[in-house]
Chain A
Amino acid sequence: MTAPIRNDFRPSEAEIAYLRDRAQFVRLETIRLIEIAKVGHYTSVFSAAEIFSALYYDVMRLEADPKHPDRDRFLMGKGHAAVGLFPILAEKGYLPVEVLNGYTRLGNPLGDHPDMRKVPGVDFSSGSIGHALSNGVGMALGGRMQGRDFITFVMLGDGEMQEGQVWEAAISAAHHKLNRLIAIVDRNGFQLDGAVDDVMGIEPLDEKWRAFGWEVHVVDGHDIGGLTEALRRAKADVSRKRPCCIIARTVKGKGVSYMETEPGWHLGYLDPSDAEAARREILSKVI
C-alpha cells in the first residue's frame, strides 16, 4: 500500500471555513459601505469576494508596512470593486475604521475607485479599465531587476478583456517571462450594457491567454478551497517560465438571489430594508 499523495496546496477544512467567513465579511461590509455612499457596485464585489478572501487571508505575503518592498502586490483592473477591498485594508490595520466609515464622504480618501496616494495598502490606483495588467508587468519587471521575489497579482474584469491594452500587456509579460505575475480574471459574465458574450464576446478566453504565452487554469471562483489551492500552486511554482492566468468562473452578484439573475445590478442602491434582507440572505448561505 502506498500512502496517498499529500496535497500540500489544498487548504484544510478549518482554513476553508475561515476563508468562507472572510468572503462573507467582504459581502456584508460592501452592503454596509454602499449604504453610506447610496450607490455602488455590489455585484462586482460579490463575484470577487472569494478572490479577495483567498488572496488577502491566505495567499498573499502581507507586511505591517504597506510599502514594504518585498510584499506581494494586488492590483485591480476592475477598480470599481474597491469597496470590497477597503474593509480588508481596514481589518488588516492599514486604514483606521473611522476612515472606512466615512467612505465617499467629503475629503475621505476612499472613493469608488482605489487611489494609492490616499489609501495605504492600495498598491496601484485604478479606475480606467485596461491599465492594471501593464502596471503589474512593470512591477514584475522592477522586482526582477532588483532580485526581489514578490508576486504581483492582477485581478481583471472579464469585460476588461475587450480593452486592447490588456493584450499589449499580455504579450509583454510572456515575452519577458514574468513568472511572478499572476492574472486573475473574474469571469462573471456581465458588464454595464449586458452579458459580455452579447456586448462583445471574448471566448474562447482560456485559449486566448494560452495563445498569448500564458499558463492558464480555469477554476470555480466561488469554490474557496479550489480557488485557494490554484492560487497557492501558481504562487509556489517558480519553475514556471511564463506568467500565469487563473480564469475564475464566477456569478455576478453571488450571494443575493435577485442580483445573480438581474444584470442591472452592476450599479445600484439598496434601501436599508432591502439591505437588511440581503444581509440575512448572505448570512444564511454557505458559498
Chain B
Amino acid sequence: MTIYTRPQSPNSWHYRELNQKNPGLDHLSNGLISLVEAGHPVVAGSADLQYSNGLNRFAQRYPDRYVGFGISEQNMVSAAAGIATTGMMPYVATFASFLGLLTCEQIRMDVAYCALPVRLIGHHTGISMGFYGTSHHATEDIGTMRSIADLTVVSTADGPQLEAAIRASADHDRPIYFRTGRGREPDLYDPSQPFVFGKAIEHARGEEVTVIACGLSVHPAVQSARRLNGEGRSVGVLDMATVKPLDRDAILEAASRSKVILTIEEHNILGGLGAAVAEVLAEEGSPARLVRHGIRDEYALIAPPTHLYAHYRLDEAGIESVIREIIG
C-alpha cells in the first residue's frame, strides 16, 4: 500500500490552512496591520484561536506585537487591561460565546470600569458555529455586553466592515466589544467604506416596514428587501452596526416613516438588538408596531450553519417570508 505524506485531494484541509480556504478571515489582521503601519501601538492577543480568527497573519508579521495566551480567556482579558495601562492598544480575540459570558466580569471590572481602551473581538457569533453546539453559540453576548456601562458594542455584518471598524477604532478612546462572524459571510461592504461608531447605515427606505438588523442578518435582510422592493413593495433596511450607543435618531426616523419596525438579529430576542430598539420605541411613545425576529429565548438546535439559518428563518428566504407575513 502507499503511505502518503499528505492528503491527495485538494478538498482535504487542516485548521492551519483555514485562512487560505476562507479569505474572509484576513480582515481582522488586515485592519490591525494597517494600524501598526500607521504607527499605532497595537498589540494583538488570542486564546489559542489564532487560526480561527486569522490573527496568525498578524502574529507572523509582527511577532513582537502578538501575545498568545493559551486557553485562558479570563487571563487574556485582564492582561489586555494591564497592557492598556502602559499606553499600548490591545486587541484580543476569542469566540464570542466565551467573551460574552465567560469573561463578562473581567470585561466589566478590568476593561469598562477602568475605562481602558481595550478592544475585544468576539468572533463566530450567533449560531454560526452550527453543529458545534450551544457551548459555541453566542446568542447572549449583545445582552451582556450592552448592559456594561461605558462599553461600546459593535456588531459587524461582514469582514470588510470589521476591517473598517478596526481601523476606525484607532481614534476611539473607549473600550469596544466587536461582535463578528466566522469569516464566511458574503461581503456586503468594501473595507474602504469608512466606519462611523454610533451611526446606523441606511440601505433602503420603506413605508410598509423598516428592518433594523445587525451582524450576519444584515446581508440577507438587504437582499430580501431588494427583491421585495423590486416587486413594488416598500421595505427599508437599517444596519445597526453599533448596538451601543444606539442611533436613536435613525430608529425614530424609521418609526415615523414605517408602519412596522422589524428587528433581526442572530441573538436571543431578549436583551439584544430587538430589546434595545423596543426600549427606544416605548420610551418615545412611537406608534410603529415592533416585531422582533431572532432566536426566541431557546438554545439553538445542532445542524450545519446554513440549515440552522433556514430553520430559524434567518437566511434570505426566511427573512423574506417573515417580512411578507408582516406586510401581507
User: Which residues of A pack against B, CB within 8 Å?
Assistant: 69, 115-117, 123-128, 131, 134-143, 145-146, 148, 164-165, 168-169, 171-172, 175-176
Contact = CB atoms under 8 A, between A and B. Distances in A.
Given A125-B113, A131-B106, A171-B72, A141 B65 contact: no
Given A169-B78, A169-B79, A172-B70, A117 B114 contact: yes
A142 B75 contact: no
A31 to B, nearest CB: 29
Given A125-B109, A131-B110, A117 B115 contact: yes
Closest 7 CB pairs of A and B: A138-B82, A142-B86, A134-B78, A138-B79, A168-B75, A168-B72, A135-B82
Contacts of B41: 146
A146 B86 CA distance: 9
B85 A131 contact: no
A141 B105 contact: no
A160 to B, nearest CB: 13
Contacts of A138: 78-86, 90
A168 B85 CA distance: 20
A171 B70 contact: yes
Interface of B: 41, 43, 64-65, 67, 69-70, 72, 74-88, 90, 105-106, 109-110, 113-115
A38 to B, nearest CB: 25
B109 A141 contact: no
A116 B106 CA distance: 15
* A123, A134, A145: residue with the most chain B Cβ atoms closer than 10 Å: A134
Given A128-B109, A131-B109, A145-B43, A139 B114 contact: no
Classify the secondary structure of B's interface with A. Answer: helix
B88 A145 contact: yes
A142 B75 CA distance: 15
Nearest to A130: B74
Task: Choose among A135, A136, A148 the residue with the greatest number of B CB atoms under 10 Å from its CB.
Answer: A135
Contacts of B78: 131, 134-135, 137-138, 165, 169
A122 to B, nearest CB: 10
Nearest to A113: B109
A128 B87 CA distance: 24
Nearest to A143: B86
A128 B84 CA distance: 19
Given A131-B106, A172-B75, A172-B79, A123 B114 contact: no
Nearest to B75: A168
Contacts of B75: 134, 137, 165, 168-169, 172
B82 A136 contact: yes
B115 to A, nearest CB: 6
Contacts of B87: 69, 142, 146
A272 B260 CA distance: 66
A266 B86 CA distance: 34
A135 B74 contact: no
Contacts of A140: 82
Contacts of A135: 78-79, 81-82, 85, 110
A124 B106 CA distance: 13
Contacts of B43: 141-142, 145
A69 B79 contact: no
A125 B115 CA distance: 11
A146 B90 CA distance: 13
B70 A142 contact: no
Contacts of B76: 134
B72 A139 contact: no
Contacts of A124: 81-82, 85, 110, 114
Most buried by A among B65, B75, B86, B109: B75
Contact of B79 (A116, A117, A137): A137
Contacts of B80: 138
Contact of B109 (A123, A127, A142): A127
A137 B109 CA distance: 16
Nearest to A165: B74
Contacts of B110: 124-125, 131, 134-135
A158 B84 CA distance: 27
Contacts of A169: 72, 75, 78-79
Which of A126, A141, A175, A176 lies at the interface centre, i.e. has the most chain B CB atoms within 10 A of its CB? A141
Contact of B83 (A131, A142, A171): A142
A145 B74 CA distance: 21
A142 B83 CA distance: 5
A243 to B, nearest CB: 13
A139 B110 CA distance: 13
A241 B113 CA distance: 33
A164 B105 CA distance: 14
Contact of B82 (A128, A142, A171): A142
A176 B78 CA distance: 16
A141 B85 contact: no
17 contacts: A134-B74, A134-B78, A135-B78, A135-B81, A135-B82, A136-B82, A137-B79, A138-B79, A138-B85, A139-B85, A141-B43, A141-B79, A145-B65, A165-B75, A169-B72, A169-B78, A171-B72
Given A137-B75, A138-B85, A171-B70, A128 B64 contact: no
B113 A141 contact: no
Given A168-B72, A168-B74, A169-B75, A145 B82 contact: no
Nearest to A67: B85
Contacts of A145: 43, 64-65, 86, 88
Contact of A134 (B82, B113, B115): B82
